[in-house]
Amino acid sequence: MSSQKSETAHITTKVLSVMKQRGEKIAMLTAYDFLTAKFLDEAGIEVILVGDSLGNVIQGNETTLPVTLEEMIYHTKIVKRAVRNAIVVGDMTFYELSGWSKGSYTNCGRIMKESGCDAVKMEGGDYIAETVRRVVEIGIPVMGHLD
């Protein structure tokens, strides 16, 4: 366990930044349910992702494409309920990030407000840079996943 984590109970983006500056490893694992999230949090995992991979792992789909925003909010809310220390990151679904739109802005806000997560994860490349910039400007923390 890092020295930074022993000084504070709840991991924040500032704690992650300090850990990165110190060259400390940051653990990020995925959970889709209350019990898994509780175990990961108690084990000291700094970041818990609720990924759209729930489409494969939980729903048995061949891809993540069928996962809806409502399903992401539902699973993220369950995970957040179990977590006391880690940062919980809710994944944006594929369709919600198809370039900048007012919908992208609104849906990032929905995930934050309705699930209580600490950040949203956006996956893509240059084509989502403007979306990420605008979402961060309104105060929504973003964790990127670059293609």
Domains of the chain plus CATH, in order, are 3-146 (3.20.20.60)
Measured at the CA of 73, the angle between CA 68 and CA 78, to 5 degrees, comes to 130
Q: What is the pLDDT of residue 101?
A: 59
Two tokens at 3? 């020295």
Token representation of residue 65 = 């494409």
pLDDT digits (tens, 9 = 90+) for 18-58: 999 999 999 999 999 999 999 999 999 999 999 999 999 99
Closest CA to 47 of 107, 109, 120: 120
- The pTM assigned to this predicted structure is 0.87
Predicted local distance difference test score (pLDDT) of residue 105 = 79
Q: In which band, very low, low, confident or very high, does the pLDDT at 4 lie, cut at 50, 70 and 90?
A: very low
